[in-house]
Structure 1
Amino acid sequence: MRPEEQPEAPSAPWRAASAFTMGAVGLLCKGFLTGLSRVETHGMEGFLKLLDEREKVAERERGLITVSNHISVMDDPILWGLLPLSYMFNPDNLRWGLGSYDLCFTNKGLSTFFSFGQVLPTHRTAYSQHGGLFQPTVTQAIRLLSRGPFPSANELPEKAATSLKSPDVIDPFSGGHLTFTTDGHDTFPAPSAYLSRRHSWVHIFPEGMIHQSEDRIMRYFKWGVSRLILESEPMPDIVPIFIEGFDDIMHETRTFPRFIPRPFKNVRVTFGEKLDAEQVFGDLRDRWKQIRAREEKKGGPLEVGVVNDTLKYSEEAVSLRKECTKRMRQAVLDVRRQRGYPEDDPKNSLASTWLREGGGDREGQKADGSITKDT
């Protein structure tokens, strides 16, 4: 897509529906937190200042990534009920999230609701052959964090399904070239196609599943977060967050009615300071750019968010993702330590630890007493 062809924003009806959806959900979450919960926040003033600096899209110079632990099925959206009312009806300055395809996008009604709510359809490898950190949705997230413009062609997974047919969700007032597909058959709006979405805010739970533990320890982080950090252009701002108490609101041992959040619980959210991202990740991004430049010299330019096999699977690329993910997890652990928790056991950062101590089951109570749940 040439710069002169990139539209400014989705259609007015789409923007209105998105603002209503984001605002209504935000109001419900805010009402629950302020009226039915006991809330304690730390560092929120600095985070709101950052959002204020990003209010005018045209003046943004980089995207924003927020990263937190994941302790309940309702972390998002209840977490964002902390925001003041004045922020809740401005989708251009609210988060984009990654939602499970097999939970949030199973029919056209749900797909439309979550699309209005700025949630990207994300396949989980345990439930879909289209999952993993190289799926088209991750490309969309990288481009939301970047400036653009971007090409209009759909990003197809390497192995497109031949029989799967999923509900299409498009903006009926926009052209079909403003869409992308996650499996070769479905159709979703491509948010990165619009100028108003450049340098957006993306929130991610790198643990990839709920983990409830009395000691508030975290599972290992998955590598998808490293792609957002290494490949977005320019380097995004990054804010680590540590949340507590949402597991009491929606504990996995809760009984009927399971779908209702439990009131009168203590909630604590700590916003870390914006990282000096260049200091923390700059060396890794420099090495990534060197690898990418070599590949482009051999095979031609690669669009933002697009990687070839070498950039996917080479030992050097994999080691960069591992180290980047490790540093991101440590940044969240640093915020956790501010709340008085002890140093993390290094083995908790290893996938092998959780496989060994938790057994082969992905969900349920583990040997250490913690509970995991796919979400």
Structure 2
Amino acid sequence: MGGGSMRWAGKADHLGGVPRALVILAVGAFAKVVTSLFNSTSVYNPETLIRLVRSRPPGQPLITVSNHMSTLDDPLVWGFKGFPTADAKLARWVLAAEDICFKNVILSYIFRLGKCIPITRGGGIYQAHMNEALEVLSGGGWLHTFPEGKVSQENAPIRRLKWGTASLIVRAPVTPLVLPIVHCGFEKVMPEKYFFGRRPPVPLWNKDIKIIIGEPIEFDLQSLKQTAKTVSRDSSIHNLGWPNTRDGLDEAEQKWLYVYISDQIRTIMERLRIFGATIKRFKV
């Protein structure tokens, strides 16, 4: 059974919200222990993330984006000191790989309680579960994505971003604030090939973790949409049969927007990555 059929478990009022609260509390405690107690974590600019999570204007959606260094990036990236990990209402929604997190009924139920939205790799940006992500944003919620699309443990530049995150930014009724985050160290806490060529059974400890939080990006979508309508068309690009957006953008215009927005986010994430590599420690 996939996660899609268990969407009811992800509702805030499921069993009075008690199972969700317990899962968020347990996962948050796990993240705090691993990130703040068992490992040495330093965070640059934590105030910006905490402010946007706790007190952004009502109805203002937030998308956080980060690089993907390990299978435990989420939830560990939220485990630093001072972050409200125990509050189920404040907790992020996150896009999670269906083939990893939703393999059976039990996993599907737990990940749904943990505010995870299943995404089918290769399913495209118009797959049904992306509508769930849009609903989160429509309600002014917080969504986290890994726009690189897969784990990479190499110390290398940010890879070309998938278009899914950009499509959510364009299609959301209220344009989300986009907050870039870059981290390193989680690849040492949960290495892909450690224990007989596999991940270790538990997270490793006594590692150095760095989390670099940028400033929110505000996209002027009205202006960008006008530009998209005037740019030249590359007729060689394969037509994917996308529907027009509700404000009439055709497939070519959408592609231009998604490439432009993805490139902007990637450029800023790469700057943060380079910045993080140049500084040794900063405040926790």
Q: Fold conserved (TM > 0.5)?
A: yes
Q: Percent same amino acid among aligned pairs?
A: 28
Alignment TM-score, normalising by the size of structure 2: 0.81
User: Which of 200, 205, 225 is residue 263 of structure 1 equivalent to?
Assistant: 205
> Which secondary structure state, in structure 2, belongs to the residue aligned with residue 211 of structure 1?
coil
* Distance change in 2, residues 1:13/1:274 (3 Å): same
> Which secondary structure state, in structure 1, belongs to the residue aligned with residue 266 of structure 2?
helix
Residue equivalent to 2:60: 62
Q: Deviations over 1:231-276 (max 9, x none)?
A: 1121111110010101111122211572311111100001101123
Segments of 5+ residues of structure 1 without an aligned counterpart are 1-8, 126-130, 147-197, 292-306, 342-375
Alpha-carbon deviation of 1:310?
A: 4.3
Question: How far, CA to CA, are the matches of 1:119 and 1:285 in structure 2?
Answer: 30
User: Which of 324, 327, 331 is residue 264 of structure 2 equivalent to?
Assistant: 327
> Which secondary structure state, in structure 2, belongs to the residue aligned with residue 80 of structure 1?
coil
* Distance change in 2, residues 1:308/1:33 (3 Å): closer
CA contact (8 A) 2:36 2:81 kept: no
Question: How far, CA to CA, are the matches of 1:282 and 1:275 in structure 2?
Answer: 15
Alpha-carbon deviation of 1:34?
A: 1.8
Question: How far, CA to CA, are the matches of 2:244 and 2:152 in structure 1?
Answer: 33
* Distance change in 2, residues 1:52/1:28 (3 Å): same
Residue equivalent to 1:205: 146
Residue equivalent to 1:90: 87
User: What number of residue pairs does the alignment pair up?
Assistant: 253
Question: How far, CA to CA, are the matches of 1:48 and 1:83 in structure 2?
Answer: 11
Query: Which range moved further: 257-266 or 232-241?
Result: 257-266
Matched, 1:24 2:26: yes
Segments of 5+ residues of structure 2 without an aligned counterpart are 1-10, 231-240, 279-284
Amino acid of the residue matched to residue 26 of structure 2? A
Matched, 1:133 2:130: no
Matched, 1:238 2:238: no
Alpha-carbon deviation of 1:47?
A: 1.5
Amino acid of the residue matched to residue 111 of structure 1? S
User: Which of 80, 88, 107 is residue 78 of structure 2 equivalent to?
Assistant: 80
CA contact (8 A) 2:12 2:20 kept: no
* Distance change in 2, residues 1:310/1:60 (3 Å): closer
Instruction: Tell which structure's C-alpha radius of gyration is larger.
Output: 1
CA contact (8 A) 2:158 2:269 kept: no
CA contact (8 A) 1:30 1:81 kept: yes
Alignment of 1:290-329 (within 5 A): 309-311=243-245, 314-329=251-266
* Distance change in 2, residues 1:209/1:84 (3 Å): same
RCO higher in structure (CA 8 A, sep ≥6): 2
